[in-house]
Amino acid sequence: MNTNGNIYGLMAEFGNDQEILAATRSAYDHGYRKMDAFAPFPVDGLPEALGRKKTAVPIIVLAGGISGCLGGYFLQWYAAVVSYPQNIGGRPLNSWPMFIPITFEVTILSAAFAAIIGMLALNKLPLPYHPLFNVPEFERASSDKFFLCIEANDPKFDLKETRRFLQMLKPELIMEVPTGE
């Protein structure tokens, strides 16, 4: 029997943000990498404690903004100069000052779409089912409890060894997360 076969990971419950931060740091120092922490609000320093680097969200938003800016201006330039030129008082067809407001609006619009879609895509959401939802206590991650989950596919993961390690962190509870298969 494969000991880790139907286990997604081991999860420990903590009562406040300082405890989860300390626990995550020591798990990282202990060599665990495939793990995630869960908190009812963003805890300062927690992603860094998990070894996460900066996110790619800003680059995506910048790319969205720049393409919106160019696209918005191109739209107006194409319509006013190429497709449907109109002579208004002998003024230049490419009357760029008048194109600024819409260029600005389209820039903002594309950047906003890039922000939300980029964030959700990087988070791999929407994802209606996740093994963590099999644990009844996990519901409190959205209210007042903090969780650290070490995944079974971490190279250092060993059911007994990892459980002993988690016990050392003095959590309120330790739970096995079934894969649900």
Partner 1 sequence: MTSEPSASDNAALEQRTPLGYPARLIAPGENLESITETIGSIVLKPHQRQPKAWFFAAAGAFTCLMMFFVAIGWLLYNGTGIWGIGIPIAWGFAIVNFVWWVGIGHAGTFISAILLLLHQKWRTAINRFTETMTLCAISCAGLFPLLHLGRPWVAFWMLPYPDTMDLWPQFRSPLVWDMFAVGTYFTVSLIFWYCGLIPDLATIRDRATTRGRRLIYGILALGWRNSATHWQRHQMAYLLLAGIATPLVLSVHSVVGMDFAVAMVPGWHETIIPPYFVAGAIYSGFAMMLNILLPIRWLYGLHNIITPRHLNNIGNIMLVLGNMVAYSYIIEEFMAWYSGDIFEESTMADRSFGPYGWFFWALIVINILVPQALWSRRVRLNPVALFCVAFSANVGMWLDHFMIIVVSLTHDFTPSVWRMYYPTFWDWATMFGSVGLFLTLILMFVRFLPLIAISETREHAAKK
Residues that bind partner 1 (CB under 8 A): 16-17, 24, 36-43, 46-47, 50, 52, 55, 57-58, 61, 65, 75-76, 79-80, 83-84, 88, 95, 98-99, 101-102, 104-106, 108-109, 111-113, 115-116, 118-120, 122-123, 125-130, 132-133, 138-144
**Which of 62, 168 has the CB closer to partner 1?**
62
Q: For partner 1, give the closer residue by CB, 18 or 167.
A: 18
Residues in the chain: 181
Torsion sign across C-alpha atoms 119, 46, 160, 142: negative
Q: Are 52 and 75 in contact (CB under 8 A)?
A: no
Nearest C-alpha neighbor of 7 from the set 123, 145, 163: 163
Q: Residue 49 or residue 162: which is nearer to partner 1 going by CB?
A: 49
Closest distance between partner 1 and the C-beta of residue 3, in Å?
25
Q: What minimum distance in Å lies between the beta carbon of 160 and partner 1?
A: 26
For residues 122 and 164, which CB has a smaller minimum distance to partner 1 in the complex?
Answer: 122
CB of 109 to partner 1, least distance (A): 5
Q: How far is the CB of 89 from partner 1 (least distance, A)?
A: 11
Chain centroid, CA 116 distance in Å: 10
Cβ atoms of residues 20 and 43 within 8 Å = yes
Q: Of 18, 19, 27, 21, which is closest to residue 154 (Cα–Cα)?
A: 27
Indicate the residue among 3 and 120 with the shorter CB distance to partner 1.
120
CA atoms within 13 A on the CB side of 124: 4
